[in-house]
Structure 1
């Protein structure tokens, strides 16, 4: 249910509005002036602000000006007995939903106005989500192995239980996380994702929790963190196994107590989110090695779900490829791209160590190389100036593959694939890791092993 802040220096007016809205089932907080309201808005997430215009210490318009930069999504209704045309013009410039003269005609007028404001917010959120992901990806395309996975995710989605998605890189863990959010009671709220491997520990802490002005060099203004922005919705921690131990301890506190402080701040903020985490790491092995906290693992793994590898759901490969190719065609301005018969056979036979991410990269590269709209098997695994890569060939028993007349082990093929990806991306390790469907830290670890000869 939406949370509303009512601000008015007249006790009777403020309490009347709060009572009317609480009777409608809204969660309502009250503040007696703009200064008190500013403190409350910085500490908690609200969907709607109802504020008087003329108040001591800090007026309604100045309150909106101060909070608007940090909370552009906040709905605002301004009420006043002394409004002017100039006030109304400024209200519109600040994106205020409505400017209403006091006294109100009736409780019904207030209820209708609030309902319309909240409805408009929900529509804006829906439009924004549609712009970001115009077509939600389905979790499966008929492979039997996906049926219990989808069933389990649908059951847990209607609760607020923390979900841990595990599986190889590129198996669709973010797609699964978005499905859980879409099937939940929080579907109208935001879905905020953070990739724990993409940022250094210091930057990630600021990204998660936000920071106060002056908290560190370059912090020129207060910034709300991703957890705060996800209030009322779902928060997705991708590659959670990449968190360092200090951040693990801070995250554990948020999961346990549902509260945190911005970096450099002392104002406690509630974490009103549903947690979903994902990893391609063996967290239990990391616990044994002292690299992951057991208490955090047990908090995250309340409802663990394993995402099957693409090679284990072969019935899904061609339908999934068709869907990905449709999207790629739109992005490349070639909407009629299609798979030739030999391409479909090659896709179904390949081992896909990088799973869906590798499949998407393969299709996009083939689309770029293909002369026409039909993608044949000859361009699927081609790299300019390089023969077809062995790591995308059909699965065979270990040892597998041939090089220079001898059998190659899987480790050798893995090293060959990594070195080929690095060469293809001119040594850019992040791009190589993305192309292979592995985390950047995983790539660094493997390269260190190659350098040491281990």
Structure 2
């Protein structure tokens, strides 16, 4: 594919000279004003615009502003005369790729165009990747049909398109980070950066630097200036995970940012201003931390403009089946296993399990069963041992003191006697898996 170059200059000789120089490599268009350039951009797929900074009517700077609003933006290289270099540098801050002073060096121009086209390709690939994330993190990304999860998603949809600060509360494993992803990728900031920081992962001395950055020499080991997560998230969203673990000194700095939208790097003396939406998450009850004096009340109210609570799995147990099927399909494909279903006996036990680890525990459980399954359908033989030991519902029918357990023990003992101790044959006659038989034998000491 041959790329197209648009030359915008009120000087006819400059337009003709540049067109001749570039026409062997590119498809070239040449116009004498910014207005003509915008008209042509509506109909032609231009890769690079070469625009004179100073022209009658619409100059290069104003043209750049209009180009920045286009869905398919070409790269812009400004052509500058003497005394306009400072303006060209300012234009680069507003999105121009580069500038070239007059008289124009054709060799240098050709190199700049090549680099600009490569930069455009990378930019467009990045946009496509982010759009895939937007699709991935639509509200359909949350699997469930319970009233609790539907209500949460309705709140998320309402909040996402605002710039409100959001606090997400919920137990570990409930999907708080997924909710934060949905908020970002369904907001007007979706093509901007989404930066995450887990406060529990850093010591008090490091978390401040991670969030706000530091200047060279700010502390031992600070060999160079480093941008913090707030700067990296400029134009996008910052997720402060485990916000309840923030040390008091850092709480003060975050409060200042939320109030004034400015901060200083560690060891710095200059105010920095960024456009960042703050979303925080915690598995603790911040109201209780405030009451205990461990979290600033004023910061709590700043973070909690909107509070979302992600319900634990035990409060939306009707979602267990649909989640299990979703994870089964995902991991069967991921591990190339071809597993087609989960037995009703296993599903019944999964419905009764309290799932203290929430969705994350269920996800890991299903993956384990998919990996260990020897048939197309998951059976009790594939149930992880930890799940058996932690789920009272799974032992209720086999309590040694119960009549049912006694009958089952007697039946197994008689079957083993009948098969002469052949356990695989006994399991076949009893209609249970071999692993299940071994568990029962071990439990009863047979």
Q: TM-score, normalised by structure 2?
A: 0.64
Q: In structure 2, what is the Cα distance between the partners aligned to 1:297 and 1:165?
A: 12
Q: In structure 2, what is the Cα distance between the partners aligned to 1:308 and 1:192?
A: 24
For the structure 1 residues 353 and 141, does the alpha-carbon distance in structure 2 shift closer, same or farther, using more than 3 Å as the test? same
Match of 1:289 among 284, 287, 292: 292
Q: 1:18 is matched with which residue?
A: 61
Superposed, which structure 2 residues align to 1:11-410 within 5 Å?
Answer: 16-22=59-65, 76-84=97-105, 87-88=108-109, 91=112, 95-97=115-117, 121=123, 124-128=126-130, 130=132, 138-334=141-337, 336=339, 338-383=341-386, 388-390=388-390, 392-394=391-393
Q: In structure 2, what is the Cα distance between the partners aligned to 1:206 and 1:223?
A: 8
Q: In structure 1, what is the Cα distance between the partners aligned to 2:159 and 2:168?
A: 12
For the structure 1 residues 365 and 18, does the alpha-carbon distance in structure 2 shift closer, same or farther, using more than 3 Å as the test? same
Q: In structure 1, what is the Cα distance between the partners aligned to 2:81 and 2:219?
A: 36
Q: 1:434 is matched with which residue?
A: none
Q: In structure 2, what is the Cα distance between the partners aligned to 1:242 and 1:87?
A: 53
> How far apart are 1:241 and its partner, in Å?
0.7
For the structure 1 residues 288 and 54, does the alpha-carbon distance in structure 2 shift closer, same or farther, using more than 3 Å as the test? farther
Q: In structure 2, what is the Cα distance between the partners aligned to 1:313 and 1:223?
A: 44
Which has the greater radius of gyration?
A: 2
For the structure 1 residues 293 and 55, does the alpha-carbon distance in structure 2 shift closer, same or farther, using more than 3 Å as the test? farther
Q: In structure 2, what is the Cα distance between the partners aligned to 1:395 and 1:55?
A: 83
The Cα offsets for residues 402-453 of structure 1, whole Å up to 9 and x where unpaired, read as: 9999xxxxxxxxxxxxxxxxxxxxxxxxxxxxxxxxxxxxxxxxxxxxxxxx
Q: Please, which runs of 5 or more residues in structure 1 have no aligned partner?
A: 1-7, 27-47, 100-116, 406-454
Q: In structure 1, what is the Cα distance between the partners aligned to 2:179 and 2:126?
A: 24
For the structure 1 residues 366 and 50, does the alpha-carbon distance in structure 2 shift closer, same or farther, using more than 3 Å as the test? same
Alpha carbons 1:190, 1:230 under 8 Å: kept: yes
The Cα offsets for residues 373-426 of structure 1, whole Å up to 9 and x where unpaired, read as: 53323323325xxx8231x45599xxx9x9999xxxxxxxxxxxxxxxxxxxxx
Alpha carbons 2:339, 2:378 under 8 Å: kept: no
Alpha carbons 2:64, 2:76 under 8 Å: kept: no
Q: In structure 2, what is the Cα distance between the partners aligned to 1:204 and 1:337?
A: 46
> Helix, strand or coil for the counterpart of 1:211?
coil
Alpha carbons 1:192, 1:230 under 8 Å: kept: yes
> Helix, strand or coil for the counterpart of 1:168?
coil
Alpha carbons 1:369, 1:379 under 8 Å: kept: yes
> Helix, strand or coil for the counterpart of 1:192?
strand
Alpha carbons 2:165, 2:302 under 8 Å: kept: yes
> How far apart are 1:129 and its partner, in Å?
6.3
> How far apart are 1:85 and its partner, in Å?
5.8
> Helix, strand or coil for the counterpart of 1:223?
coil
Q: In structure 1, what is the Cα distance between the partners aligned to 2:214 and 2:134?
A: 26
Alpha carbons 1:189, 1:234 under 8 Å: kept: yes
Q: Please, which runs of 5 or more residues in structure 2 have no aligned partner?
A: 1-50, 70-74, 402-446
Q: In structure 2, what is the Cα distance between the partners aligned to 1:16 and 1:266?
A: 38
The Cα offsets for residues 284-341 of structure 1, whole Å up to 9 and x where unpaired, read as: 1111211111011000111111111111112211222222333334443436464333
Q: In structure 1, what is the Cα distance between the partners aligned to 2:214 and 2:331?
A: 38
> How far apart are 1:165 and its partner, in Å?
1.0
Q: In structure 2, what is the Cα distance between the partners aligned to 1:321 and 1:258?
A: 43
